[in-house]
A and B are shown apart, each in its own frame.
Chain A
Amino acid sequence: MENHVQMLTETALRISGVNPQKCMKCGKCSGTCPSYDAMEYHPHQFVAMVEKGQIEKLMESDSIYMCLSCMACVERCPRGVEPGKLVEAVRLMKIRQQDQNRKNGNDIAAFADENVPQQLLMAAMRKYRK
């Protein structure tokens, strides 16, 4: 089990390029996050929890789908930790698993109406499923 967590952690760090040890725990990311209140775990917690071996809690949390990918935390992080990239990595590791899509193609297509731009549907396809 421990090995499993270690493998998940290593993968998340590798594909995100994030080094949690660069974090000085200032909380700037969470101070700037527009989706803060919708998240159970906040950007700074993604960094801290992955470092502390708690990546599975993050994978099971809806927080991974609340990130807007606005990159405010990536831009403003004074240490270049770029938490948003880690949120994305954890989300990918969740949906890359068998039958772990948050929404499937039909669910997303059902949202289409005369105003919803293609861009929005396509983004959902990429963010919620594999």
Chain B
Amino acid sequence: MIYSYYPGCTLKDRAKEMDKYARASAAALGIELREIPEWQCCGAVYPQASDEIASRLSAVRALMNTEEGKLVTMCSACHHVIKRTNYDWNRDADFRMKATNYMKPEVPYDGSTQVLHFLEVIRDEIGFEELKKKVVNPLTGRKIGAFYGCMVLRPGKELAFDDPENPQIIEDFIRALGAEPVKYPYRNECCGAYVALENKNCAETQVDRALNSAIANGCEELITACPLCMYNLVENATRHKLPVRYFTELLAEALGVKEG
């Protein structure tokens, strides 16, 4: 099975390992992630105002360049921006018209691309039961918490990723890899996001609360799908600390493709 793949900027640099492990794991799972040509930065944040057209164009280009019909994303932020832009495309005629007029593509985008987070591919296309069968190195005994953050979950109506108030996809993922998922209440709250740049305090408060909650509930390590959550959880952790990994690293480890 071949999927179009949008890695995003951070995965080409600070989060290289997330990309590396994703590709290795995908191969082990028998799927190919085919990077789409000439992709551009998604913009990192979804522009919420309806008259922001230009800031959504790179996402439209990615959607348009998806040859395989299904576009796989890895980074929560890229997923968020591209998924919501696709949602807009199929519902907001004004945006569709303005974007098309600006880009003047040979063939206008028909809105048919399906945006899938790699976790969704695993859940909906491969299935956790299948994944379980491919695990060669079960992570038995490890107590792992999921840090969902905001971007993959909200707004639930548009992302349609999982129940935004009680998500379980990453817990199911952890379980499939042989480890013990640990639920804690702050797993779907904000890490402090981009405000960390000028308001470290806010990020520290958020991260402190999340880590405290994770540790109190028995987490020994965390996984995330978001490089920004990763940054905050590691760099802005003051009082409490936990090892944090990308979910793809955990996957690669369980599939036995982490080294090499």
A and B touch in the complex (CB under 8 A): yes
Determine the chain A residues whose CB is within 8 A of the CB of B8 once the complex forms: 119
Per a CB cutoff under 8 Å, which of B9, B153, B192, B234 touches A68?
B192
Q: Chain B binding site: helix, strand, loop or mixed by DSSP? A: loop
Q: How far is the CB of A89 from chain B (nearest CB, A)?
A: 5
A119 touches B10 (CB 8 A): yes
Bound Cα distance A77, B164 (Å): 13
Which residues 80-130 in A have Cβ within 8 Å of B in the complex?
Answer: 82, 84-85, 88-89, 92, 103, 108, 111, 115-127
B227 touches A66 (CB 8 A): no
B195 touches A (CB below 8 Å)? yes
B197 touches A111 (CB 8 A): yes
Bound Cα distance A122, B156 (Å): 24
Bound Cα distance A122, B193 (Å): 12
A23 touches B (CB below 8 Å)? no
A119 touches B199 (CB 8 A): no
Among residues of B, the one whose C-beta sits closest to the C-beta of A34 is: B190
Determine the chain B residues whose CB is within 8 A of the CB of A85 once the complex forms: 48-49
A119 touches B77 (CB 8 A): yes
Among residues of B, the one whose C-beta sits closest to the C-beta of A126 is: B45
Instruction: Report if A75-B154 is in contact (Cβ < 8 Å); known contacts: A66-B195, A122-B43.
Output: yes
Determine the chain B residues whose CB is within 8 A of the CB of A19 once the complex forms: none
Determine the chain B residues whose CB is within 8 A of the CB of A68 once the complex forms: 150, 190, 192-195, 202
Q: How far is the CB of A7 from chain B (nearest CB, A)?
A: 14
A118 touches B195 (CB 8 A): no
Instruction: Report if A16-B48 is in contact (Cβ < 8 Å); known contacts: A35-B195, A74-B155.
Output: yes
A71 touches B (CB below 8 Å)? yes
Determine the chain A residues whose CB is within 8 A of the CB of B190 once the complex forms: 34, 68, 70, 72
The 9 closest A-B pairs by CB, nearest first: A70-B190, A123-B194, A122-B44, A71-B154, A15-B49, A123-B44, A88-B48, A70-B150, A117-B227
In the assembled complex, 10 residue pairs joining A and B whose CB atoms fall closer than 8 Å, in A order, are: A66-B202, A69-B150, A69-B193, A69-B194, A70-B193, A116-B14, A117-B10, A117-B228, A118-B14, A118-B44
Residues of B at the A interface (CB closer than 8 Å) are 8-10, 13-15, 41, 43-45, 47-52, 55, 75, 77, 150, 153-156, 164-165, 189-190, 192-199, 201-202, 205-206, 227-228, 230-231, 234-235
Contacts A115-B234, A119-B8 supplied; 18 other A-B pairs, CB < 8 Å: A14-B51, A38-B195, A68-B192, A68-B202, A74-B155, A75-B165, A84-B48, A88-B47, A89-B49, A103-B198, A117-B13, A117-B231, A118-B41, A119-B10, A120-B194, A120-B197, A120-B228, A122-B43
